[in-house]
Chain A
Amino acid sequence: MHIPDGYLSPSTCAVLYAAAAPFWYTALQRVKKSLTTRLVPLLSVMAALSFVIMMFNLPLPGGTTGHAVGVGVSTIILGPWASILAISIALAIQSVFFGDGGVTTLGANCFNMAIVGSLVAYAVYRLAAGRAALTSSRRVVAAALAGYTAINASAFCAAVEFGIQPLFFKDPSGAPLYAPYPLTIAIPAMMIGHLTFAGLAELVLAGGVVAYFQRTNPGLLKLTAPANLEAEPDIAGGESPSMWRTVRPLWIALALLMVLTPLGILAAGTAWGEWSARDFSSLQAREKMAAASQNAAPPVQPPRGLERLSSLWTAPFPQYAPSFMRRPAVGYALSAMFGSGAIILVSLAAGSLAARGKSKN
């Protein structure tokens, strides 16, 4: 799971550093607000602990052993934001000092394991644990599930990162320059290992540690238990009046992505499978389809289902660019902004509906 240098292209690494940066910033702001001067010692020892946890060999069912990242357990005890920071720091020390994971791929590793892992673990734990009591066995199951899902989500992200390498980065002879396997091989290869062994290690660790704390010190589980959230919105990441300030970097990242969207038009041709019914009758489009499908000739007639359904709904911006825009890059950016704006509006509407529902209760 710790991606070494050389598996991902420098541009993928740069994108993942950029994707991780706003999360690191938000996490730091949130944790700083609640910990103030405690930040330095707490994060230091917690990062050290994450490092040591990664070295534990955990006994798995079937007699084998495996390593866990500890993302589930650190999210449950520290909350998602502090967990993002502690695991990122542990990964940085692992990569620079112990050579476990690359330097150029550190952003990718932190994105997959610390960020995606912590956020998925938090969401799954909160959803599965619900309002169960701190010592309820439901929390043990929820923790185990959170650890298992989180590590598999991280593995999936890594698999996608590996799988897209041969699509974009090849030498003139067509040999992949970085991770060589396409998505069809990378995803099953990564997921089989994680759905079984690595996932089990995380499951055993998260469930086991929560069960242990239930017996010895249930207070440590309070931070991510909902009843406690209103009193302590800090590390756990509850809503606070200055939320806008702390999530601002995420909005900035979104804006950057929207501005960078025109880069998509630099990619040649149409994405595989995104053909229209008309493409089946155009000679040029047919050649492209065949080239993209390992020289398998497309059917002479457009599939009947596609033909029938294509008349049902016409996108407001067909081909992502309004017809009145002459320059495709500007049209593409406008379409991206429109699309993102629409998504944000729908999310806001859903959020306000949910809030209204909650206040009625």
Chain B
Amino acid sequence: MNFLERTLASFLNAMDHALRAEALAKARGLLQTLDPRVKVVGILALIIAAATAHKLWVIAAVFLVALSLALSSRVSPLLLAKRVWIPVLLFTGIIALPAPFAIPGRVVWRLPGLGWPLTAQGLLSAQYLVARVETAATLSVLLILSTPWTHVLKALRVLRVPVVLVVILGMAYRYIFLLLESARDMLESRRSRMVGELKGSDRRRLAAASVGVLMSKTLQLSGDVYSAMLARGFRGEVAMLDDFHTAASDWIMLAVLAALAAGAIYFGR
């Protein structure tokens, strides 16, 4: 696969992720029915709990909470495995692999032939790293798979994120897809006119020129968007409709998630 195909594949992957997340966010499950503010606060608390825990069983317990939240929200473990668990294991697992040999401590085994010492502390530290990363990644993916992006952004207001930043994040997200499509069209059309392989230097020139064209288009686009905003009465101030309503079930769930996070922080010390 050449660089054009690889880049096209990563664009498609991003779009696919977004479409899937949108479809899942509309499903009827436990997390989907919750107020997005409760989800943002609750899931963030659980991520922090997993990050602070000093005991492996506490991290594992938080992971089980994440798994049960996924199951009750119609997020299949297969999807989680494909999107989170396997990629994380491949990346962090490889990083953690030398740890049992590189970290000094009590030797529990020696690699036959080479005689490298495998230490208990090293093994434990590799487990800490992989468990923590898997748990936190599962939780943050759950938030996105159960909540439309616009709702996540609005919910960020609870965490006192400035309105202007929330608006920029929302607009940026929309334009990502426009630019992704624009870039995909550009590369597709180039690929369709290519016969044979390009030289290395030509490939680099083509990639840099594609980014350059995209950049010029973006600057042009920002002018157009600005004019359109002005035409609709934009005067530099941004406002947001806050139309979330909390029901009793939201408060109960918030209490449950907060209690779980507090428990994990307490027992994980």
Q: Mark A204-226, 1 if CB is under 8 A from B, else 0.
A: 11011101110011001000000
Quick check: is A150 within 8 A (CB to CB) of the other chain? no
A45 touches B125 (CB 8 A): no
Quick check: is B260 within 8 A (CB to CB) of the other chain? no
A48 touches B136 (CB 8 A): no
B169 touches A40 (CB 8 A): no
The segment out of A95-103, A231-239, A265-273, A351-359 that lies at the interface is: A95-103
Quick check: is B137 within 8 A (CB to CB) of the other chain? yes
Quick check: is B50 within 8 A (CB to CB) of the other chain? yes
B128 touches A57 (CB 8 A): no
Q: Mark B75-112, 1 if CB is under 8 A from A, else 0.
A: 00000000110001001100010010011110000000
Interface residues of B in 122-164 (CB under 8 A from A): 122-126, 128-129, 132-133, 135-137, 140-141, 143-144, 149, 152, 164
Q: Mark B196-210, 1 if CB is under 8 A from A, else 0.
A: 000010011101111
A265 to B235, CA, bound (A): 52
Q: Which residues of B contact A58 (CB under 8 A)?
A: 3, 204, 207
The segment out of A172-180, A313-321, A325-333 that lies at the interface is: A172-180
Chain B residue nearest in CB terms to A5: B136
A175 touches B176 (CB 8 A): no
Quick check: is A81 within 8 A (CB to CB) of the other chain? no
A53 to B14, CA, bound (A): 13
A61 touches B200 (CB 8 A): yes
A290 CB → nearest B CB, Å: 15
Quick check: is A77 within 8 A (CB to CB) of the other chain? yes
Greatest chain B CB density within 10 A among A40, A89, A103, A216 is at A40
The segment out of B31-39, B66-74, B213-221, B240-248 that lies at the interface is: B213-221
B136 touches A102 (CB 8 A): yes
Quick check: is B192 within 8 A (CB to CB) of the other chain? no
Interface SS majority for chain A: helix
Q: How many residues of A contact B (CB 8 A)?
A: 72
Quick check: is A322 within 8 A (CB to CB) of the other chain? no
Selected from B88, B180, B216, the residue in CB contact (under 8 A) with A220 is: B216
A121 CB → nearest B CB, Å: 16
Selected from A5, A42, A175, A211, the residue in CB contact (under 8 A) with B47 is: A5
Quick check: is A49 within 8 A (CB to CB) of the other chain? yes
Indicate whether A180 sits within 8 Å of B99 (C-beta atoms), given known contacts A5-B136, A103-B47, A220-B216.
yes
B132 touches A56 (CB 8 A): no
Interface residues of A in 38-65 (CB under 8 A from B): 38-49, 51-53, 55-61, 63, 65
Q: Which residues of B contact A177 (CB under 8 A)?
A: 54, 125, 128
Q: How many residues of B contact A (CB 8 A)?
A: 90
Chain B residue nearest in CB terms to A50: B172
Quick check: is B179 within 8 A (CB to CB) of the other chain? yes
Quick check: is B253 within 8 A (CB to CB) of the other chain? no
A51 to B136, CA, bound (A): 22
Quick check: is B234 within 8 A (CB to CB) of the other chain? yes
Q: Which residues of B contact A44 (CB under 8 A)?
A: 167-168, 171-172, 175, 222, 225
Interface residues of B in 1-34 (CB under 8 A from A): 2-3, 6-7, 10-11, 14, 17-18, 21
A180 touches B168 (CB 8 A): no
Q: Which residues of B contact A37 (CB under 8 A)?
A: 226, 230, 234-236
B129 touches A6 (CB 8 A): yes
Quick check: is B51 within 8 A (CB to CB) of the other chain? yes
Indicate whether A6 sits within 8 Å of B216 (C-beta atoms), given known contacts A53-B211, A93-B173, A180-B96.
no
Chain B residue nearest in CB terms to A38: B226
Selected from B55, B104, B136, B219, the residue in CB contact (under 8 A) with A104 is: B136
B235 touches A40 (CB 8 A): no
Quick check: is B252 within 8 A (CB to CB) of the other chain? no
Q: Which residues of B contact A181 (CB under 8 A)?
A: 99, 102-103
A178 touches B129 (CB 8 A): yes
B125 touches A55 (CB 8 A): no
A46 touches B222 (CB 8 A): yes
Quick check: is A242 within 8 A (CB to CB) of the other chain? no
Selected from A5, A9, A13, A46, the residue in CB contact (under 8 A) with B218 is: A46
Chain A residue nearest in CB terms to B227: A41
Quick check: is A73 within 8 A (CB to CB) of the other chain? yes
B204 touches A47 (CB 8 A): no
Indicate whether A45 sits within 8 Å of B225 (C-beta atoms), given known contacts A5-B137, A6-B51, A177-B125.
yes
B17 touches A98 (CB 8 A): yes
B225 touches A73 (CB 8 A): no
A103 touches B44 (CB 8 A): yes
A216 to B180, CA, bound (A): 22
A5 to B92, CA, bound (A): 11
Quick check: is A36 within 8 A (CB to CB) of the other chain? yes
Quick check: is B60 within 8 A (CB to CB) of the other chain? no
Indicate whether A99 sits within 8 Å of B3 (C-beta atoms), given known contacts A45-B222, A48-B172, A180-B99.
no
Closest 4 pairs between A and B when the two form their complex, measured CB to CB: A208-B208, A6-B132, A5-B136, A44-B171
11 more contacts with CB within 8 A, not counting A10-B52, A40-B238, A176-B128, are A5-B51, A6-B129, A40-B236, A45-B175, A58-B207, A96-B144, A99-B84, A102-B136, A171-B128, A220-B215, A220-B216
A-B contact pairs, 29 of them (CB 8 A): A4-B88, A6-B50, A40-B164, A40-B167, A40-B238, A42-B222, A43-B168, A44-B175, A47-B168, A49-B179, A49-B214, A56-B183, A58-B204, A58-B207, A59-B207, A93-B169, A93-B173, A96-B140, A99-B84, A99-B137, A173-B121, A176-B103, A181-B103, A204-B208, A205-B211, A209-B212, A209-B215, A217-B216, A220-B215
